[in-house]
Amino acid sequence: MDTLRAVAATPASRRVLVLDGTPGPWLPPGFDVVPQCAGGLDERLADAFAHCDGPALLIGMDTPQVTPELLTVDFTDCDARFGPAEDGGFWALGLARPDPGLLRGVPMSTPTTGAVQRDRLLGAGLRVRDLPSLRDVDTAADARAVAALAPHGCFAARLARCTAAVTGRDA
């Protein structure tokens, strides 16, 4: 929910949610929903860019600490924006001219995913500008660290409720 709210607060001309499932009342207004395709993560990310006809910034849902300011990017002096993740992946990828082929075949969920993806962009002759490095949520330790970065968000509140349910203490 935090990520969707951050995206909704950006000055984007179009907001697309690629979803495996059916949207519910949790979805803020103003999003186009497209079904997620089958295949590996590289294919699903490539397909997300295939739905874009102009500059696009793709982010996942595992960085609830993002802000509208982080997501408000332009491509004035570059062709791509790249947001590295602390675990070696990436949390954001923006392309001035979306090209799904730039993602297909990149090995996902490895400690070198981000480096391989960034090298792919550079190898295609793109001018790349980096976004800040962020920690994404892959483990319980990541969840606690990210919740501490955004303690007033929905993610932190949900984590506190889950922790309380497991430990038997009030959140």
Burial 60-74 (b: 16+ CB within 10 A, else e): bebbbbbeeebbebe
Per-residue pLDDT at 169 = 67
Handedness of CA 65, 133, 129, 103 (dihedral sign): negative
Residue 170 burial (C-beta neighbours within 10 Å; 0-12, 13-18, 19+): exposed
Rounded to 5°, angle at Cα 132 from 113 and 55: 75
Interatomic CA distance for residues 52 and 8, integer angstroms = 17
User: In tens digits, what is the pLDDT along the chain, a chain of 171 residues?
Assistant: 899 999 999 999 999 999 999 999 999 999 999 999 999 999 999 999 999 989 999 998 899 999 999 999 999 999 999 999 999 999 999 999 999 999 999 999 999 999 999 999 999 999 999 999 999 998 889 889 878 888 888 878 888 888 878 877 665
Domain architecture of the chain: domains with CATH: 2-134 (3.90.550.10)
* CB 58, CB 94: distance < 8 Å: yes
Interatomic CA distance for residues 93 and 74, integer angstroms = 12
Per-residue pLDDT at 1 = 87
CA distances from 110 to 85, 88, 143 (A): 11, 7, 19
Considering the entire predicted model, what is its pTM?
Answer: 0.90
Rounded to 5°, angle at Cα 72 from 24 and 106: 75
